[in-house]
Amino acid sequence: MKRFVKSFMRDIICCNLETGTFPGPIVTISRQSGCSAQRIAIKLSKILTGYSYMSDTKTDAEWRWVDKNIFEDVVDEIIEEVKEGDYDDKEESTEMLKKVAHSFSNETIYDISDEKMIDAFKGVVCRLACKGRVIIVGRSAGVILRDLPNKLNVRLEAPMEWRISRIMQLKDCLQAEAVEYVKEMDLKRDSFIEKVIGRKAMNDDFDVIFNYASMQDDEIIDAIVNILKNKKIISQHEEY
């Protein structure tokens, strides 16, 4: 018998690149508070899938941005593996994975401090990468997957004053409340990255950094698609 909690990260395929079986392709989007990464992820997934904005037609190679439903589906798959596997900590592991899924869904993932839960979360992110053609927003996915060859890690940043002004508009709140919100969210995300990789995130953790204050969503998306083509993460010959 073996313990799932200890073996999960070791056994999962995308944590062992020596096999030459690389996960992906995958795009991660990290962002500072006030930058709308989810909106970009949704548009990007449609373009990479072959959608036009006026048609429901799509190619066989579907790209998906990872919302709570997709994350929970992957967790459910892993839970089934736990139940069928030769583990002596099935109940503990199943409960832990359910907590990870719940935390992902309600945005409390950044509050997790338990080392086992963090390892389980990292494992789920890796499993998503193994499935390929996914876009993951936030949740430290970029730093978790930084060493994978078949990925693009995107970072969205903007000046503090611009982000505060934008939060005031989006939340219809006063400046003081917006300042507190921006600082709190940035701190939560930065602290979670330190829990996950043991250090602060650095610029070289990301392949490209955009100034969200000076670019439109479509400009950022066009740039991402071109980078993916030039890096041969997606085909040069397909129409997106």
Asked if 228 and 152 touch (Cβ cutoff 8 Å), the reply is yes
pLDDT at 30: 95
pLDDT at 240: 41
pLDDT at 120: 86
pLDDT at 12: 55
Q: In whole angstroms, what is the distance from residue 32 CA to residue 185 CA?
A: 8
pLDDT at 6: 65
Q: Identify the residue whose tokens are 């596997």.
A: 85
Per-residue pLDDT of the chain (240 residues; tens, 9 = 90+): 467 766 665 555 444 545 555 667 899 999 999 999 999 999 999 999 875 343 454 556 789 999 889 999 999 999 998 888 887 888 888 898 999 998 888 778 888 888 888 888 988 998 898 888 999 998 889 998 888 888 999 999 999 999 999 999 999 999 999 999 999 999 999 999 999 888 988 999 999 999 999 999 999 999 999 999 899 888 754 444
Give one word for 206, left, alpha or beta, with left for phi > 0 and alpha for psi -120 to 50: beta
pLDDT at 15: 46
Domain ranges within the chain, ordered by starting residue: 4-14+26-227
Burial class (CB in 10 A: 0-12, 13-18, 19+), 116: middle
Q: In whole angstroms, what is the distance from residue 52 CA to residue 240 CA?
A: 9
Q: Identify the residue whose tokens are 């876009």.
A: 135
Asked if 234 and 240 touch (Cβ cutoff 8 Å), the reply is yes
What is the pTM (predicted TM-score) of this model? 0.86
Distance between terminal CA atoms of the chain? 48
pLDDT at 54: 39
Q: In whole angstroms, what is the distance from residue 209 CA to residue 94 CA?
A: 37
pLDDT at 81: 87
Asked if 9 and 210 touch (Cβ cutoff 8 Å), the reply is no
pLDDT at 238: 44
Q: Which CATH superfamily is 4-14+26-227 part of?
A: P-loop containing nucleotide triphosphate hydrolases (3.40.50.300)
C-alpha distances (whole Å) from 88 to each of 7, 26, 82, 83, 157 are: 12, 33, 10, 10, 45
Q: Identify the residue whose tokens are 């409960």.
A: 95
Closest to 100 in 3D by CA, of 118, 77, 115, 88: 118
